[in-house]
Each structure stands twice: as C-alpha cells, then as structure tokens.
Copies of this chain bind each other. A is one copy, B any other.
Amino acid sequence: MSGIVVQTIDRADSAVIDGLAACGVATVHEAQGRTGLLAPYMRPIYPGARIAGSAVTISAPPGDNWMVHVAIEQLKAGDILLLAPTSPCSDGYFGDLLATSAMARFCRGLVVDAGVRDVRDLTAMGFPVWSKAVFAQGTIKASLGSVNVPVVCAGALVHPGDVIVADDDGVCVVPRAAAAAVLEKAQAREAAEEEKRRRLAAGELSLDLYEMRGKLAALGLEYV
C-alpha cells in the first residue's frame, strides 16, 4: 500500500485558496457545515500566521521522514505539506534545512500530525508549522511511505489537492471540489458578521439581534 508517489494532482483555483485564507479557519469551518477540522492538539509554532494552500500529502512511517524529501520535489508554488504518520509519533520530522528547501519551492507551510524541530529558526524564517509536538528527536531515512495519497491527519480525511486553511484557531481541510462554494458561503458569513459586529459593539444584545428570547422562553428558561 505504500511506496507510491502521485506526481499529478488537481488543485483549486488560487484566488479561491487566497480567499479562504482571508476568511480564516473558524469561518471556513462554519461555512462548510462544521466539517473538516483537524484535532485541537494541532497547534502553531508561533502566533499570527494565517495561510491556505493545496495539500501535498505525505504518509510516513513512524520516526522516518524520508518521504518528506520525496514530497518536496512535488511542491508547486502555494502548496502546503501535510504529513500523517502511519502510527502515533512525536518525533521531529521537519527542521530548518527542509524548510529552506520547501521555501525555495514557495511552499506556504507544514501541517504535521507528529513533531517538528528547529522552531526558533523556522520562526525567524517565517515558515509556519502546525504540529502535535515540538520535539528535537530526529528521524531516520529507512522505509518507504507515499506521497499524494489520501491520508487521515489528526482525525480529518485529506486528499491531495484539497485546500488546507490554518491559523491560530487550528487547521481545516476543504475538499478541492467544494472550495469555491465554501468560499462563497464563508464570504457571505463574513459580510453578515460585519453588520452584527457593528450592532453588538453598539451595545445591542445578541438575544435581540438573533431574536432568541421567544425560543428560550418556550423551552422554559426562567429568570429569577
């Protein structure tokens, strides 16, 4: 089942991808019906990054990062590396040398359901990573995995070419075919929120804004 590198994958439209980045994870996640979120243990190595890109997926053996080297050759500008180990692992699959190489290919970041290292350098380089752990323990190069096959990463199914959105709230995957429709809904949501934000900031209560009082009373909410 492993030992495969798929060299040609479809990607979403780059304007759609950038639009999704601008909306951010929480909005995109709502817009696609509350699906696609990776587990909450996936955290950024530094705050403030917000990216989206096409997933170049890596299925790797535990403690073996050989396939990362293989995957970097498959990167196109705007892609995001996404690695899922085949069994739970905290080792540091990725460091500053691999980031240098990935950035030379205009890779936007890494999502890894395992560990990462050299985070001080990665921060200085502005290469964002979302990971399960930060751990200096390195990996070996002994066994094959696969590149650009479907993977389950931190509990979410990711196909190569799916859009990955990542920011301080976590990581969300948008199926490639749905990306444009999800963006539309996300932007509509954002526009609607702008008006709500203005009214809430002015002191209006969401109980009134969303007309919740009647429903709450019907369910029996009691004020004492």
A interface residues with partner B (beta carbon < 8 Å):
1-7, 24-26, 29-30, 32-35, 37, 39-40, 43, 46-48, 50, 61-64, 66, 69-70, 72-73, 86-92, 95-98, 100-101, 103-105, 115, 117-120, 123, 133-138, 140-144, 150, 152, 155-157, 167-170, 172, 193, 196-197, 200-203, 205-207, 210, 212, 216, 219-224
CA distance A200 to B104 in the complex (A): 7
**Residues A70 and B219 in contact, CB atoms below 8 Å apart:** no
Q: Can you list the 7 inter-chain pairs with the closest CB atoms, starting with the nearest?
A: A1-B33, A40-B135, A62-B63, A136-B169, A101-B200, A87-B137, A142-B142
A107 CB, min distance to chain B CBs, angstroms? 12
Which among B47, B100, B150, B152 is the interface contact of A123 at CB below 8 angstroms? Answer: B47
Query: Would A134 and B69 be within 8 Å (CB), given that A5-B224, A34-B86, A63-B87 are in contact?
Result: no
A58 CB, min distance to chain B CBs, angstroms? 13
Which among B39, B133, B143, B206 is the interface contact of A142 at CB below 8 angstroms? Answer: B143
**Residues A221 and B120 in contact, CB atoms below 8 Å apart:** no
CA distance A33 to B141 in the complex (A): 15
A182 CB, min distance to chain B CBs, angstroms? 11
Which among B34, B47, B86, B212 is the interface contact of A120 at CB below 8 angstroms? Answer: B47
